[in-house]
């Protein structure tokens, strides 16, 4: 049966852990996987600008021995002629074996999955979900901490529109003993329904604060985010909030020595470059792990045994 | 006040007082050419006051709309002047083209041929969310 990944909750915790194991095995034995997707094609349909995610998907498919068909902007596709997402998905199903779709509209990858005859991966739909970033985040946490439970995780920055935050909170809420610290300006607080339907429903302890410095010593993981210009209708609000939290070596002084700093990237100025060489900075490794997780995911959805 | 009994048709009973007209409009009962009676503020032992709608024809009723607007109603099917069936309504798990998503970032805002699908995510508080963007249903839409 065709399976897609639209929301991180489409995968069970067991499946995510299996994929982390596969990703670790790919890191150890890349040659073993170099022809797993020979003869298969990934359609990378990116209707919104992306560098990391698109290249990560393309690199993942190439490293599995497969090929990539690519649409890198809405302007260069039939979407500019008014073709619907449903029709695009039906047509691409004729040419490719799996779709990775990024779209500015929330729910577009779900519409694609409802109409495609091949698996669809949500590579980011507006400010809604970004499940493969979550797979990268989970893999990073697992590799850096050796566990996915009993962690104090600080989420900092734009928690309102930050889709990676929403998905990671959903994923980590399924593990016992985790505790969340939500650090954001009031205007960018985590939406109430995620607090209620995800965090409180799973009986996860959480604290909401505006001060990063105050909570820094408690954190096992600090998940930084960028205030994204494209999520604002009003430029004034963006300019007012964009520099709310900037992580500097000074602020890190009170942090634990085993803190792991994650960021979905791209970064603008919210993490000082002076931190890049700090052993606690994991964000570049995180991008690498993302590629391995996407390889594991592509194989899983295509029904290819690792 | 007397309203004639119906021979073959439907009586929607136990409507929360004041919601009779909403249900009349949402079920598009104005487009029927049979007799339709809306009786408002009927004295009720259980409810204090209630509305009742009598439809003098056996038409298909969209139970999802009824369940969403007023899950406490009962639908009585009348044949030959006798009640032959009494259906209770519950909150529907899914609504298709009953309410519309108002999130401007939702795919349904630009692709208008898509069915508007809402899922019941919190039965205790009667919360429905858009299946595409997860926005909470606001108001009754339609």
**What structural domains and CATH numbers belong to chain A?**
8-129+291-301 (3.40.50.1370), 131-286 (3.40.50.1370)
Q: What is the DSSP secondary-structure string of chain A? A: ----BSSGGGS-HHHHHHHHHHHHHHHH-GGGGTTTTTT-EEEEEESS--SHHHHHHHHHHHHTT-EEEEE--GGGSGGGGT--HHHHHHHHHTT-SEEEEEESSBTHHHHHHHH-SS-EEEEEETTTB-HHHHHHHHHHHHHHHS-SSS-EEEEES-TTT-HHHHHHHHHHTTSTT-EEEEE--GGGPPPHHHIIIIIITTT-EEEEES-HHHHGGG-SEEEE----GGG-S-HHHHHHHTTS--B-HHHHTTS-TT-EEE--S--SSSB-GGGTTSTTB-HHHHHHHHHHHHHHHHHHHTT---
Is there a contact between A183 and A223 (Cβ–Cβ < 8 Å)? no
Binding-face residues of A in 196-235 toward B, CB within 8 A: 197
What gap in Å lies between CA A100 and CA A221, rounded to an integer? 29
Question: Residue A243 — pLDDT band, cuts 50, 70, 90?
Answer: confident
Instruction: Note the maximum CA span of chain A.
Output: 56
Would you call B138 an interface residue with chain A, using a CB distance cutoff of 8 Å? no
- Contact flag B110-A105 (C-beta cutoff 8 Å): yes
Is there a contact between A182 and A169 (Cβ–Cβ < 8 Å)? no
pLDDT, tens digit, 9 for 90 and up, residues A133-146: 999 999 999 999 99
Question: Chain B interface, mutation test: which of A106, A124, A131, most B Cβ atoms within 10 Å?
Answer: A106
Q: State percent of chain B over pLDDT 70.
A: 94
Is there a contact between B75 and B86 (Cβ–Cβ < 8 Å)? yes
Residue A130 is among the residues annotated as catalytic for this protein: yes
Residue of A nearest to B122 (CA): A197
Tokens of A81: 């002629």
- Choose the catalytic residue: A36, A40, A130, A166: A130
DSSP state of B114: S
- Contact flag A86-B131 (C-beta cutoff 8 Å): no
Spatial strand order of the sheet with B36-44 comes to B36-44, B48-55, B9-16, B74-79, B82-88
Q: Residue A190 above 80 pLDDT?
A: yes
What gap in Å lies between CA A51 and CA A66, rounded to an integer? 20
- The helix or strand, by DSSP H or E, that contains position B132, with its residue range, turns out to be none
Would you call B110 an interface residue with chain A, using a CB distance cutoff of 8 Å? yes
Q: In chain B, which residues have their Cβ closer than 8 Å to the Cβ of A84?
A: 111, 113
Residue of B nearest to A127 (CA): B105
Average pLDDT value over all residues in chain A = 93
Residue A81 is among the residues annotated as catalytic for this protein: yes
Would you call A54 an interface residue with chain B, using a CB distance cutoff of 8 Å? no
More confident residue, A52 or A61: A61
What gap in Å lies between CA A88 and CA A112, rounded to an integer? 8
Question: Residue B93 — pLDDT band, cuts 50, 70, 90?
Answer: very high
- Where does residue A303 rank: exposed (0-12), middle (13-18), buried (19+ CB within 10 A)? exposed
- Contact flag A86-B114 (C-beta cutoff 8 Å): yes
- Measured from the Cβ of residue A146, the count of other Cβ atoms closer than 10 Å reads 7
- Contact flag B105-A106 (C-beta cutoff 8 Å): yes
Domains recognised in chain B with CATH numbers: 9-88 (3.30.70.140), 94-130 (no CATH)
Question: Residue A97 — pLDDT band, cuts 50, 70, 90?
Answer: very high
- Contact flag A126-B136 (C-beta cutoff 8 Å): no
More confident residue, A248 or B138: A248
Would you call A86 an interface residue with chain B, using a CB distance cutoff of 8 Å? yes
DSSP state of B111: -
- Contact flag B106-A197 (C-beta cutoff 8 Å): no
Tell me, what's the pLDDT at A244? Answer: 76
- Choose the catalytic residue: A53, A132, A152, A164: A53
What gap in Å lies between CA A96 and CA A68, rounded to an integer? 9
Question: CA angle A102-A85-A3, nearest 5°?
Answer: 70
Question: Residue B1 — pLDDT band, cuts 50, 70, 90?
Answer: low
Q: Please state the φ and ψ torsions of residue A32, each to the nearest 5 degrees.
A: -60, -25
The owner of tokens 């942090």 is A255
Question: Chain B interface, mutation test: which of A48, A86, A104, A105, most B Cβ atoms within 10 Å?
Answer: A105
Q: What is the mean pLDDT of residues A292-302?
A: 98
- Contact flag B107-A193 (C-beta cutoff 8 Å): no
Residue of B nearest to A108 (CA): B107
Q: In chain A, which residues have their Cβ closer than 8 Å to the Cβ of B112?
A: none
pLDDT, tens digit, 9 for 90 and up, residues A137-189: 999 999 999 999 999 999 999 898 888 998 899 999 999 999 999 999 888 89
Alpha helices in chain B (DSSP H): 20-26, 63-69
Q: Residue B141 above 50 pLDDT?
A: no
CB pairs under 8 A between A and B: 49
**Which of B107, B121, B129 comes nearest A108 by C-beta?**
B107
Residue A174 is among the residues annotated as catalytic for this protein: no
Tell me, what's the pLDDT at A277? Answer: 95
- Where does residue A219 rank: exposed (0-12), middle (13-18), buried (19+ CB within 10 A)? buried
- In angstroms, what is the C-alpha Rg of chain B? 17
């Amino acid at each position: 049966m065709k399976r897609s990944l639209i929301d991180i909750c489409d995968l069970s915790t067991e499946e995510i852990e299996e994929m982390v194991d596969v990703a670790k095995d790919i890191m150890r034995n890349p040659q073993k996987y170099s022809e797993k997707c020979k003869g298969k094609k990934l359609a990378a349909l990116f209707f919104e600008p992306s560098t990391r995610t698109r290249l990560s998907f393309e690199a993942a498919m190439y490293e599995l021995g497969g090929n990539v068909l690519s649409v890198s902007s809405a302007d260069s596709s039939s979407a500019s002629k008014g073709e619907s997402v449903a029709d695009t998905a039906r047509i691409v199903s004729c040419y490719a074996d799996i779709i990775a779709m990024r779209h500015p509209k929330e729910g577009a990858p779900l519409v694609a999955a409802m109409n495609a005859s091949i698996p669809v991966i949500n590579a980011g739909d507006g400010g809604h979900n970004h499940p493969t970033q979550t797979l990268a985040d989970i893999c990073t946490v697992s590799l850096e901490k050796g566990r996915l439970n009993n962690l104090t995780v600080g989420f900092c920055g734009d928690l309102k529109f930050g889709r990676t935050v929403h998905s990671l909170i959903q994923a980590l809420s399924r593990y016992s003993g985790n505790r969340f610290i939500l650090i954001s300006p009031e205007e960018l607080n985590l939406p109430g329904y995620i607090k209620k339907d995800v965090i409180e429903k799973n009986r996860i302890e959480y604290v909401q604060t505006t001060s990063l410095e105050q909570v820094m010593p408690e954190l096992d993981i600090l998940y930084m985010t960028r205030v994204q210009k494209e999520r604002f209708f009003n430029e004034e609000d963006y300019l007012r909030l964009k520099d709310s939290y900037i992580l500097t070596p000074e602020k890190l002084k009170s942090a634990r020595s085993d803190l792991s700093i994650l960021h979905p990237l791209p970064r603008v100025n919210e993490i000082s470059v002076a931190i890049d060489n700090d052993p606690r900075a994991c964000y570049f490794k995180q991008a690498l792990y993302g590629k391995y997780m996407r390889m594991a995911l592509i194989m899983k959805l295509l029904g290819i045994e690792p | 006040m007397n309203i004639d009994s119906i021979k073959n048709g439907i009586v929607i009973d136990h409507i929360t007082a004041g919601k009779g007209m909403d249900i009349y409009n949402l079920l598009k009962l104005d487009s029927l050419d049979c007799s339709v009676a809306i009786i408002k503020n009927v004295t009720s032992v259980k409810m204090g006051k209630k509305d009742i709608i009598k439809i003098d024809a056996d038409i298909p009723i969209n139970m999802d709309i009824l369940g969403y607007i007023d899950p406490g109603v009962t639908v009585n099917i009348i044949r030959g002047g006798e009640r032959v069936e009494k259906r209770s309504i519950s909150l529907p798990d899914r609504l298709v083209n009953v309410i519309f998503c108002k999130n401007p970032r939702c795919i349904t805002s630009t692709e208008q041929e898509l069915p508007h699908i809402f899922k019941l995510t919190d039965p205790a508080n009667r919360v429905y969310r858009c299946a595409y963007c997860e926005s909470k249903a606001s108001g009754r839409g339609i």
